Structure 1
Amino acid sequence: MNPRRKKRMLAVLAIIFGVGSAIGLTLYALQENINLFYTPSELIEGKGEGKEKPFVGQKLRIGGMVVPGSVVRDETNLDVTFKLVDTGPLVTIKYHGILPDLFREGQGIVAQGTLIEPNVIEAFEVLAKHDEEYMPSEVAEAVKGIKHVKPTYNLNSEN
């Protein structure tokens, strides 16, 4: 191989290695910012055909209806705990902060946070819908028919 071809080959390989490294580092950096959307049923039972469940420590978004009678506010600080439901199991949300003005029991919400136990999420943001007609499209799809099918849940159970 003559020296000119050798230089070109090394230059092409260096470019391919550089671009590959840049793409790999970008994907690694973005991995922390991906928040997958779950419903309470998908969180507990698994999502998709493979029934894949999120791992403890994973950042995620969850949407559902706030269970009436489940909101517990700490009297000494801004800690709030409440339960979410879609058509199945309950998921507990722990939140530290001021809830949106439109937050209330029996209403659809979306919470963003970290899974700290298989059915407990520590939220860093809680979003409430703004009127009876609007619901985020992901939540609307996930809880379609919830007004017609009364979910069965027991506030005393650990689900």
Structure 2
Amino acid sequence: MKSLKKQRRIQIIALAASALAVSFGLIWYASQDAFQFFRAPSEVIAAPPPSNEVFRIGGLVSEGSLKRGEGAAISFSVTDGGATVPVVYTGILPDLFGEGEGMVGTGSYVNGQFVATEILARHDETYMPAEVIDALKEQGVYVEPET
């Protein structure tokens, strides 16, 4: 009788562990698209990601690169001082978006250009995302703002 209870207990523990492993695997698989990694333009050029991968890119909008197309189509280049990546975006840009300003875009890298689905710009004259600051510092381009 003892061995039957012990065997049943082992089966329940094994079943619970299996259910836990399967649920963890399903959660991990489902959340892969939710994670968006930040990349600097130099990283994108050095190792271009697959066109189906959604990630964030950030840097400074290159001077003289902002061009407005028909409708809400916009193109510009983003740089970290080491490399420049062309960006295309269809939509309304944030009010503080401009040339020489910091930006972060979400989208994918398709045929040599970043196709953005979302563009974020700084929210005041001193703010810049930490990832962009780090990338610019690595390239030796970042200048501390005057306070």
TM-score by length of 2: 0.88
For 1:137, the aligned partner's letter is A
Q: Deviations over 1:103-132 (max 9, x none)?
A: 111111000112223x31111110111233
Residue 82 of structure 2 aligns with which residue?
A: 88
Identity of aligned residues (%): 38
Residue 98 of structure 1 aligns with which residue?
A: 92
TM-score by length of 1: 0.81
Structure 2 residue 63 is the aligned partner of structure 1 residue 68: yes
Cα deviation, residue 147, structure 1: 5.0
Runs (5+) with no aligned partner, structure 1: 47-52, 149-159
The CA RMSD measured in Å over matched residues stands at 1.6
- Secondary structure of the corresponding residue to residue 69 of structure 1: coil
Residue 114 of structure 1 aligns with which residue?
A: 108
- Structure 2 CA distance, aligned partners of 1:39 and 1:22? 34
Task: Report if the CA contact (8 A) 2:68-2:75 is conserved.
Answer: yes
Runs (5+) with no aligned partner, structure 2: none
Residue 156 of structure 1 aligns with which residue?
A: none
Q: Deviations over 1:46-102 (max 9, x none)?
A: 4xxxxxx52221010010111111112113x21111111112221111111000011
Matched residues, number: 140
- Structure 2 CA distance, aligned partners of 1:2 and 1:85? 69
Structure 2 residue 131 is the aligned partner of structure 1 residue 138: yes
Structure 1 or 2: larger helix share?
2
Q: Post-superposition, which runs of at least 4 consecutive aligned residues in structure 1 deviate over 3 A? A: none
Q: Using the TM superposition, name which of 66-75 and 33-42 deviates more.
A: 66-75
Q: Deviations over 1:11-66 (max 9, x none)?
A: 011000000011111111110111000110011114xxxxxx52221010010111
- Structure 1 CA distance, aligned partners of 2:130 and 2:61? 17
